[in-house]
Amino acid sequence: MKRFTLPNTDIEAPNVILGLMRIQDKTDDEVRELVRTARDAGIDFVDHADVYGNDLHGCERRFAEAMQLTASDRDAITIQTKAGIVGDGPYFDFSYEHLIESVNGSLDALQTDRIDILLLHRPDALVEPEEVARAFDELETAGKVRAFGVSNHTPRQIDLLKRFVRQPIVANQVQLSITHSPVVSQGVAANMLGEQQSVTLDGGGIVDYCRLHDITLQAWSPFQAGFFTGVFLGSPEYPELNAVIDRLAAQYDVPPIAIATAWITRHPAQMQVVLGTTSPERVAGAALGSDLPLTRAEWYELFRAAGHLVP
Ligand SMILES: NC(=O)c1ccc[n+]([C@@H]2O[C@H](COP(=O)([O-])OP(=O)(O)OC[C@H]3O[C@@H](n4cnc5c(N)ncnc54)[C@H](OP(=O)(O)O)[C@@H]3O)[C@@H](O)[C@H]2O)c1
């Protein structure tokens, strides 16, 4: 498992992490086996959100109840969670009161005294960055949150926050898979009249922006074809892509999921892949893609086979 120190933190992290959005209905044993398999593969970093689960803090609570972490177990795991979505609506809320209430709820559900990384989940159109700054200062001073980041944010939205927030923004979690890759594919086809791929959907150059500012990109839904439309792996809708994935999987002697993971980890921005599977076997397979050295030609072949233009 490839590891690195998250820039602007003292957190040492793997480049494949375990998303726990889908564990609400899993038994204690299933959650424990999932986390144990991940840890055996070197994945000691979990991704939560207050809104994951059937009710508020549902997956965070399921995780803590199943794991019953001792103090030393807790120290050995990096726990990231998110705030800012109000599920009942839905709408977004980056107000001071909401952020404080959300973090207190997460700490309680996770049965811990600190969140290692807190992400602002989705941009709030009504954001008042001074309020975010006040909440971050209070959470940091109280020792409740160690580091702060964002999710689904554009470069300008991050700039606006940075104008007021004192703490570094250390992560930006965005949707990225071989098939759903506007943050990568737009730049490849920039400035081409009439080409859909040329259209800027991410506020403009989010990957380059994050690289320039030492913000670690985290790729959510790494195997989903689109926005929760099902995975592309093994899908009859992507015969060409799966043929290339299967050929490379055989060549590198890994399961196909490792190739799909490697397509993201191969990117020099040093991104983290946020797995969502609840299958221990798939987690172990994906982990094999952590430092699988796809060649430039192979990376682009996968990109083309997913239907992207290489002009
Ligand atoms: N920041 C955000 O806005 C945001 C949004 C969404 C998600 N996330 C985070 O990203 C994580 C990953 O998201 P995701 O769950 O959508 O990503 P994913 O890993 O691309 O998809 C996993 C889902 O696909 C299913 N699946 C079916 N066949 C599969 C196969 N061959 N290989 C792998 N999975 C297969 C899994 O089922 P099984 O469990 O049965 O394997 C699971 O339901 C979440 O847990 C969450 O932490 C963040």
Our mutation pick for probing the ligand 1 site, out of 152, 216, 220, 224, counting the most ligand atoms within 8 A of Cβ, is: 220
Our mutation pick for probing the ligand 1 site, out of 17, 18, 21, 122, counting the most ligand atoms within 8 A of Cβ, is: 21
Phi, psi of 109 (to 5 degrees): -65, -40
| Residue in the structure block whose two tokens are 């689109």 | 226
| List of residues 6+ apart from 110 with CB closer than 8 A | 48, 60, 61, 63, 64, 79, 81
pLDDT for 306 equals 98
Closest CA to 51 of 114, 115, 119: 119
Q: Domain limits of the chain?
A: 9-238+264-291
- Residue closest by Cα to atom 37 of ligand 1: 277
Residue 257 CA: which ligand 1 atom is closest? 32
Compute the distance from residue 71 Cα to the ligand 1 centre, in Å: 29
CB of 242 closer than 8 Å to CB of 231: no
Our mutation pick for probing the ligand 1 site, out of 45, 277, 288, counting the most ligand atoms within 8 A of Cβ, is: 277
Compute the distance from residue 142 Cα to the ligand 1 centre, in Å: 33
For the whole model, what pTM was predicted? 0.98
Pocket of ligand 1 (CB under 6 A): 19-22, 47, 151-152, 173, 220-224, 231, 233-234, 257, 274-279, 282
pLDDT for 145 equals 98
DSSP conformation class of 231 = B
Rounded Cα distance between 296 and 96, Å, is 45
pLDDT for 203 equals 86
- Residue closest by Cα to atom 4 of ligand 1: 220
On whether the 9-238+264-291 domain is CATH 3.20.20.100, my answer is yes
Strands (E), the chain: 3-5, 12-14, 16-19, 45-47, 78-83, 85-86, 91-92, 115-120, 145-151, 169-175, 216-220, 272-275
Residue-level pLDDT, tens digit, the chain, 311 residues = 999 999 999 999 999 999 999 999 999 999 999 999 999 999 999 999 999 999 999 999 999 999 999 999 999 999 999 999 999 999 999 999 999 999 999 999 999 999 999 999 999 999 999 999 999 999 999 999 999 999 999 999 999 999 999 999 999 999 999 999 999 999 999 999 999 999 999 889 999 999 999 999 999 999 999 999 999 999 999 999 999 999 999 999 999 999 999 999 999 999 999 999 999 999 999 999 999 999 999 999 999 999 999 99
Compute the distance from residue 19 Cα to the ligand 1 centre, in Å: 8
Residue 151 CA: which ligand 1 atom is closest? 1
pLDDT for 89 equals 95
